Structure 1
Amino acid sequence: MTGPAEPVTRRYAWLVFALSFGLLLSDYMSRQVLNAVFPLLKAEWALSDAQLGSLSGVVALMVGVLAFPLSLLADRWGRVRSLVVAAVVWSLATLGCAVSASYGQMFLGRFMVGVGEAAYGSVGIAVVLSVFPARLRATLSGTFIAGGAFGSVLGVSAGGVLAQHVGWRWTFAAMGLFGLALAAVYGIVVTDRKTASTDAGTGGAPDTERPLRTLLPRLFSPVSVLCAYVGSGLQMFLAMALLAWMPSFLDRSYGLAPAEAGLAAGAFALITGVGMVGGGMVCDRLGRRNAQLKWTVALVCSAGSLILLTAGFHLPPGAPQLVLVGLGTLLSNATAGPAAAMVVSLTPAAVAATAMATLTLANSLLGLAPGPAVTGILADHLGLPAALRIIPLVSLVAGSAFALGRRHHDKGLVPLPGRALRESELPT
């Protein structure tokens, strides 16, 4: 229990968002900085590519394994204090990487980075949404999730610059110190008492006294929330496949050198992030009077990415192809904000972080993990251009899921504690 809620001003709400977003950037910068120093670690410790890959993969593994249980713990123990502890853990672990003397020590450090980062995305977005009105859910969700793309680009680019000038150890140290500083400010400024209760869409404090057995089934029972999980995950499949294979596509089809292909792929990553923010904004704008229009926005983004990417990858290399692929990339994960907003409106506030963890798990199982791998398998058999012409077809299934969710939306809405929803209180 966190005690009675304190009123939250608009200025304080945006301060919570800024600090939470800053910690999200730290999260992904600490995670992705390793990629920038791969060559230095390989040369100094004579590591194999498999060992280098394991240093990156262990973080994703721990996030996948621990996101749900740690988010559930945060819902019961206190979301803000959980975020502070998580940030301290991954920052100290990143500092540990800076002083590692062997592959084994580095692996342990990266393992702990994954433990610290496991639930940050789901718990962080729950904290942010708790201090803003429901009408901004999709915008905030899309922007917050897009922070992962922005943080990844910052981690790789800033890490590369720092590694070149001060060495890989100080690169890790800089990321760790940055995270610790933000965690200290966050712990001082943000409190569970102020963030536990004021979501205009829930109408009151999360009912943390209700037994979990009555809350957890709501994470999976409505047809509409399952559709949001599936649609979001499959669109994530497409977005992650594009991010993973865009450097190789630009290298093989356009003859770009690895450095140039990496920079160009970074631009596509930023386009993905912009699309996530824009999708959320459009969703909130159109959904103010009719919540079902949020499903329509997701459906249109799915259909648009299917059409634009399929057409683009069927064109020969050139400017028209890059324009269509860029527009398709913009829409490929613009469904992230609408999907997150729909999950929040369809699940109990008391397990908001756990609901976001479930969405994250769906995104990982349906998108993050299989997207790049399946595309690679197709590329081995058909060639990369042919593989990239095929993978947009997942948007057909994603769009179908969003259409089904729209049909069942009203049946899945969560009423406010103790009474039914009035029309004015429907999530918007």
Structure 2
Amino acid sequence: MPAKRWTYVIPVAVVMYMLAFLDRSNVSVVLPYMDGDLSLSAADEGMVTGVFFLGYVFLQIPGAILAQRWSARKTVVILMTAWGVAAMACGLVQTKEQFYVARFVLGLFEGGVWPAVLILLASWFPLRERARANALWMACLPISSIIMAPLSGLMLDHTDWRWVLVLQGFPPLVWAVVWWFAVADRPSQARWISRSEAEYVENALAADEAAKPASGSGSYLDAVRQKPVLVLIGVYFFWITGFYGFTLWLPSVVKTLTHDGSSTEVGLLSAIPFTVALVVMVANAAWSDRTGKRRQAVAVPLVVAIAALLLGQVVQGGVLAMVLLCVTAGAVYAPYGPFWAIPGGVLRMEVVAVAMGLINALGNLGGYVGPYLVGWLTDATGTSVTGFGVLAGFLAVAVVLVLTGLRSVGGTAAGGGAAGTGASAVSEAGQGTGAESRTGQGS
């Protein structure tokens, strides 16, 4: 079976979201080098980081619904253009209040992109390929940090933080043109795909939907009534609180380890934990597909993250501290592939769009809570130890919810029957579609 969808859809989506992740996370790199320009306290810095996620909530569900009922391609290109302009505006602010507003607007426009792309992938990859497709696309998160953290550091050595934010907001405007011509909403609309591949995808997707139980009209209420959705919202919130509380403060920790080294050095060292995260993330997704153990693939890495975060507060500086940063980075990124394989495996398409919007919208509020908690507790206690201890507690709640709240979910989510979808993806990629496997992994 031809596999052009792996070489057209996935790489373009990866680059697109790398740029989105850069524009939301570059602020963590520039904050230590703003030299008091906006008179930001630690709590203010936490607010600058976290207010993004307040805006991020509003277009999650509308973005998912527009992608499903109108066009994922058009929805993303509009949002990409808007967030590029908002990202450039972040470099033009003159007060901390303006910085808050600019970051809020950036989050607003980026908010609909994640669920829209998940809907797009669900129109291109059947369930037996979905986990791998999701994982390959979501690899853009650590890849972005690997590439962009050193780039931001290098730019800071040659210009100021304002120009870094302005210049890094420009690429989404260019990539929106690439996205428009390279991506189609479904195989039947793509000029570059063969008829046989298009028929294979559409027939497989129809069979996937026919095998799922009816789940109502796809309204908000239908989505909320699904127990897995409620549990996944809780898991995602507590996990993302710990996730962003760690990753968005990572450059400051590395800067301390380097004894206030150059911004280029800080950027390069910051890329090391994200390189580890990329490897662990892909490996964990492959293990989850092979065994079908979705719950364990989410819970076990988070337990490791808890231990590494707590131990890291005891170890001060040195190689061991960097090792612990790498372990924590790998552990908090690892659940992405298995986690997002759950909704599409248990919910029909008319419900899954709303469900994924709800999960991402409410769960990502943790992106506000985590950074702000660390900043506020640092100001209140004079040390970041308390903040990271609280973040470890949030991750612990996520583990409990995964292990107890998803027990009653069908095999696809909980791990029993997922092997039927995930393992078959690996099997078929390795046996029947060798080219597809090589292309997909290369993405």
Q: Give the CA RMSD over aligned residues.
A: 4.1
Residue equivalent to 1:283: 288
Aligned partners of 1:243 and 1:268 also within 8 Å:
no
* Structure 1 segment 271-310 matched on structure 2, within 5 A: 271-287=276-292, 293-310=293-310
Which SS does the other structure have where 1:407 is aligned? coil
CA deviation after TM superposition for structure 1 residue 294, in Å: 1.3
The alpha-carbon deviation at position 24 of structure 1 amounts to 0.5
Which residue does the alignment assign to 2:330?
Answer: 330
Between Structure 1 and Structure 2, how many residues are aligned?
399
1:241 corresponds to? 245
Query: 1:17: which partner in 2?
Result: 10
Q: Specify which structure has the bigger relative contact order, considering alpha-carbon pairs within 8 angstroms and separated by 6 or more residues.
A: 2
Higher mean displacement: 234-243 or 150-159: 150-159
2:228 corresponds to: 224
Alignment of 1:4-153 (within 5 A): 9-33=2-26, 47-49=38-40, 59-94=52-87, 112-152=105-145
For 1:411 and 1:20, the matched residues in 2 are separated by 29
Equivalent in 190, 194, 218 of residue 183 of structure 2: 190
**Alignment CA distance shift 1:351-1:78 (3 Å):** farther
Are 1:305 and 1:331, in contact at CA under 8 Å, matched by a contact in 2?
Answer: yes
Mapped partners of 2:325, 2:205: distance in 1: 37
From 257, 261, 281, the equivalent of 2:260 is 257
CA contact (8 A) 1:78 1:192 kept: yes
- TM-score, L = length of structure 1: 0.75
User: Is the contact between residue 132 and residue 199 of structure 1 (CA under 8 Å) also seen in structure 2?
Assistant: no
Inter-partner Cα distance in structure 1 for 2:61 and 2:340: 16
State the match for 1:418 in structure 2. none
Deviations 1:152-211 (A, max 9, x none): 5544543443465577776556545422332112211222242897494663679xxx99
Secondary structure in 2 aligned to 1:257? coil
Contact kept in structure 2, 1:250 and 1:261, CA below 8 Å: yes
Q: Give aligned-pair identity as a percent.
A: 21
**Corresponding letter in the other structure for 2:173:** L
TM-aligned CA deviation for residue 427 of structure 1 = 4.6
CA distance in 2, matches of 1:74, 1:154: 29
Report the more deviating stretch, 159-168 or 178-187: 159-168
Residues 20-71 of structure 1: CA deviation (Å, up to 9, x unaligned): 111111222333445666689879xx64437988776654332222222332
Give the Cα separation in 2 of the matches to 1:174 and 1:261: 20
Q: Quick one: which amino acid aligns to residue 207 of structure 2? A: G
Question: In the TM superposition, what is the alpha-carbon distance from 1:310 to its structure 2 partner?
Answer: 3.8
Structure-1 separation of matches of 2:46 and 2:387: 23
Q: Is the 8 A contact 2:63 2:115 kept in 1?
A: no
Q: How does 1:167-182 map to 2 (within 5 A)?
A: 171=164, 174-182=167-175
Q: Higher mean Cα deviation, 182-191 or 143-152? A: 143-152
Is contact 1:32-1:156 (8 Å) kept?
A: no
Q: How far has the Cα of 1:274 moved from its partner? A: 3.9
Query: Which residue does the alignment assign to 1:396?
Result: 396
Equivalent residue letter for 1:256: H
Residues 84-122 of structure 1, C-alpha deviations (whole Å, 9 max, x = no match): 221222234446667x59669988766654343221112
Deviates more, 1:77-86 or 1:260-269: 260-269
User: TM-score, normalised to structure 2's length?
Assistant: 0.73
Contact 1:238 1:394 in 2 (8 A): yes
- 1:369 maps to amino acid: Y
- Quick check: 1:143–1:280 contact (8 Å CA) kept in 2? no
Gap change, CA 1:346 and 1:149, over 3 Å in 2: same
**Mean Cα displacement is larger for which, 301-310 or 312-321?**
312-321
Q: CA deviation at 1:78?
A: 1.4
Is contact 2:224–2:355 with CA below 8 Å preserved after alignment?
Answer: no
Query: Quick one: distance in 2 between partners of 1:133 and 1:199?
Result: 9
Q: Hey, what does 1:419 align to over in structure 2?
A: none
Cα-to-partner distance string for 1:344-388 (whole Å, 9 max, x where unaligned): 2233213544333222223322x3122233344555438434553
Distance (Å, rounded) in 1 between the aligned partners of 2:387 and 2:51: 27
Q: Find the counterpart in structure 2 of residue 409 from structure 1.
A: 409
- Alpha carbons of structure 1 residues 88 and 199: separation in structure 2 relative to 1, 3 Å: farther
Q: Secondary structure at the match of 1:49?
A: coil
Q: Which amino acid aligns with 1:66?
A: L
- The structural deviation recorded for 1:317 is 5.1
Aligned partner letter, 2:269 = A
* 3-state SS in 1 of match to 2:58: helix
Q: How does 1:380-391 map to 2 (within 5 A)?
A: 380-381=380-381, 383-385=383-385, 387-389=387-389, 391=391
CA distance in 2, matches of 1:228, 1:350: 18
| TM-superposed deviation, 1:398 | 1.8
Match of 2:341 in 1: 341
CA distance in structure 1 between the partners assigned to 2:316 and 2:34 by the alignment: 39
Contact 1:222–1:411 (8 Å) recurs in 2: no
Contact 1:133 1:199 in 2 (8 A): no
**Structure 2 match to 1:267:** 272
Separation (CA, whole Å) in 1 of partners of 2:34 and 2:327: 37
Gaps of 5+ in 2: 190-200, 423-443
AA aligned to 2:260 is A
The Cα shift of 1:392 comes to: 2.4
